[in-house]
Structure 1
Amino acid sequence: MKKNNTSLTKIGLYNQKVHEHLQGTTLDAITQLTIKLFKDNAQRNKLNDAQYNKAVEEFNTQHGYLLLKKGKEHEKAISKHYNYINYPFLDRSAMKSTMDNYRQYVHSYNQQA
């Protein structure tokens, strides 16, 4: 079994409570209209994620857990290992000295042959 390196953030935990509440709740037409008006007002007022989440908390305290917060629900655990290999960087001077050494080697090899 593969380990999952993700954990829930505060937003993820809050949204999990909302999902659990919504599974056991049926929404009537008035509640659905209230949710629609809330979302329309949030979009019209151009709320950022922090402002939106604060407004969602206030709304949910009055009406129950009905709206999800915006933002990252999961965060990855910090890995101790790199996912890539670092190759050494060869600049111009290193390349030049390497080619000089190669030419000397070829010359000495040709002399021996």
Structure 2
Amino acid sequence: MSEEKVFDKNLDRELRKKLKKEERKNELEKTQDEKYESYLDAAAIFFGTLVPLYILFYMAYRVFMFSIGFALSMLSLPFTWILPLIHAAIWVASIYSVYRKRSVLDELIQWL
């Protein structure tokens, strides 16, 4: 009878170890899935802000240069110095949107 108790204790101990190992494995998989989903959300927010802002920028730039750019070139006013600032602002807005976990375009649409 004592051998059965020892066997049962050993079996119980091994089953507990296996159960704890499986629980740890499940926890790790769960946290990895959550991190993966958060990275996907961040990428969607980043590119969902970056691409529309660049599209808006290039449309506005083409319209501006078609209508007023010719006059500026005749007056010899350089306009090219402001373009890197606009690009930087677009990238900062995209990064800031990821930090806030909400696109700045949402507020722009609500404002309009």
| TM-score, normalisation: structure 2 | 0.26
Structure ranking higher in helix proportion: 2
| TM-score, normalisation: structure 1 | 0.26
Structure ranking higher in strand proportion: 1
Structure number with greater CO (CA < 8 Å, separation at least 6) is: 1
